[in-house]
Amino acid sequence: MLDLVFTAMFAVVPVMLASIYLAKYKQRFQLHKQIQVALGIVLLVAVAAFEIDMRMNGWHHLAEPSPYWQDGSWNDWVDYGLAVHLFFAIPTPFLWGYVIVQAMRKFPNPPQPNEYSRAHRFWARIAAIEMTLTAFTGVVFYWLAFVA
């Protein structure tokens, strides 16, 4: 499950960037909407599956062979890596939910720029940056805990 979430996170960022490119340079707003909503669903399913797996199986036993892991709490790079990752990861689904729900409510269907554009660009950029940092710090944590 960890590997699956890792791969999903890794794939979400380039697809998201392509979707932003489509909105910004190609005016393909409907396609942008469809991709972003699909990514939102992938994110939701990944988070749910991941949480269930972590609570049922845990992950410490998988990190024990890592040179960055020490028994006890908050004394090693694995834990620091996780703290930094969670700092970005926890707000991300909320930001995405907010951006998607507001965009669906305030843009016409099919979507076109309107008076909501400024606010969407502001919040959507923050959501996109959060997602990128979540994925990047997730990769660092994954490497510290399970690869090194």
**Rounded to an integer, what distance in angstroms lies between the CA atom of residue 61 and that of residue 84?**
21
The DSSP output letter for 66 is: S
User: Rule CB under 6 A: is residue 7 a binding residue for ligand HEM?
Assistant: no
User: Contacts with ligand HEM: how many residues (CB under 6 A)?
Assistant: 23
Q: Which pair of structure tokens corresponds to residue 119?
A: 């606010």
Least CB distance from residue 107 to ligand HEM, whole Å? 5
User: Rule CB under 6 A: is residue 103 a binding residue for ligand HEM?
Assistant: yes
User: Rule CB under 6 A: is residue 26 a binding residue for ligand HEM?
Assistant: no
User: Rule CB under 6 A: is residue 119 a binding residue for ligand HEM?
Assistant: no
Q: 123 to 142, contacts with ligand HEM by CB under 6 A?
A: 124-125, 127-128
**Rounded to an integer, what distance in angstroms lies between the CA atom of residue 38 and that of residue 89?**
19
Least CB distance from residue 48 to ligand HEM, whole Å? 18
Radius of gyration of the chain (CA): 17
**Rounded to an integer, what distance in angstroms lies between the CA atom of residue 82 and that of residue 75?**
12
**Rounded to an integer, what distance in angstroms lies between the CA atom of residue 130 and that of residue 89?**
8
Which residues contact ligand HEM (rule: CB under 6 A)? 20, 23-24, 29, 32-33, 36-37, 96, 99-100, 103-104, 107, 111, 113, 117, 120-121, 124-125, 127-128
